[in-house]
Amino acid sequence: MATLGNPKETIEILKKYGFSFQKRFGQNFLIDTHVLEKIIRSAEITKDDFVLEIGPGIGTMTQYLCEAAREVVAVEIDKKLIPILTEDTLKEYNNVTVINEDILNMDLNTLVEERNGGKPIKIVANLPYYITTPIIMGLLEAHVPLDTITVMVQKEVAERMQAVPGSKDYGALSLAVQYYAKPYLAANVPPNCFMPRPNVGSAVICLRLHEVSPVQVKDEKLMFAIIHASFQQRRKTLVNGLANALELSFSKEEIITALEAASLPLTVRGEALTLAQFAELANVLHGGNL
């Protein structure tokens, strides 16, 4: 039975082990059972599922995951939390493995291959906010076999992931997330659901990985370099933004020809382009027959 998830139990565990929060690890522990239940429901976890949790903390959400899933692997960077997890809060569960590691240093393709026969897994996490984007982008770009990613992130990051062309939040993160997955906002979560309270609002976002990519791209790297360059200089037209970009080596003339081939106006800015239009532009530039 899950026993954590309220302030009293959390404080007791922290006191018992003399644990003090590490700001540098983005430690804000969940202390609200409604939010925990909402995350588990949104992730649609069943007894068939293999779940990877990033940053279990004292194991609050891990307890819920162990009850709902077939198997759980929890990766925690802070070695001071390991005895709390293995000797105390997760001791009763025989379907969980705790790994003391930095998630950014792990080869998750190998983990999925060895632990789940290469079949897609689910990721569930209350993410450390200082590395949200590298974690999400690392998972997506490495093509780790995934069903869904259900994560607590800063509200503003959740908004960027879901943003549409022309809106102020639309940018490289929106396009990257939407290239790989369909985002869905499951809940907004206020600071008082955490200990200690973060000074920003939070949100639970579910990313369901596409089975078939929504656009066909000849060279993913080139498309993302174009996207990156377009939003580096948001206020410039796409022609100037791409011609000035250090990471690209196209001349202004080549870019103008490509925009014309992709039926885009020469005055267009990157923030107006859909994912399909970025893909088309990348495919035209990739072809090299300009």
Distance in angstroms (rounded) separating the CA atoms of residues 142 and 180: 11
How crowded is residue 217: how many other Cβ atoms within 10 Å of its Cβ? 18
Q: Measured between alpha carbons, how far is residue 49 from residues 22, 65, 153, 201 in Å?
A: 31, 10, 23, 30
Q: Confirm or reject binding of residue 162 to ligand SAM (CB under 6 A).
A: no
Binding test (CB under 6 A) with ligand SAM, winner from 13, 43, 50, 56: 56
Site string for ligand SAM, 80-99 (x = CB under 6 A): -x------------------
Q: Confirm or reject binding of residue 102 to ligand SAM (CB under 6 A).
A: yes
Q: Confirm or reject binding of residue 27 to ligand SAM (CB under 6 A).
A: yes
Nearest in space to 216 (alpha carbons), one of 150, 168, 115, 284:
284
Binding test (CB under 6 A) with ligand SAM, winner from 32, 49, 71, 76: 76
CB contact set of 141 (below 8 Å; sequence gap of 6+)? none
Binding test (CB under 6 A) with ligand SAM, winner from 28, 150, 202, 277: 28
First to last CA, the chain: 64
- Block residue for tokens 């700001």: 23
| Helix (H) / strand (E) containing 76 | strand 71-76
Binding test (CB under 6 A) with ligand SAM, winner from 2, 13, 25, 239: 25
Q: Confirm or reject binding of residue 29 to ligand SAM (CB under 6 A).
A: yes
User: Considering only 40-48, 74-82, 228-236, 251-259, which stretch makes contact with ligand SAM by CB under 6 A?
Assistant: 74-82
Binding site for ligand SAM (CB under 6 A): 25-30, 54-57, 60-61, 75-78, 81, 102-104, 126, 128, 131
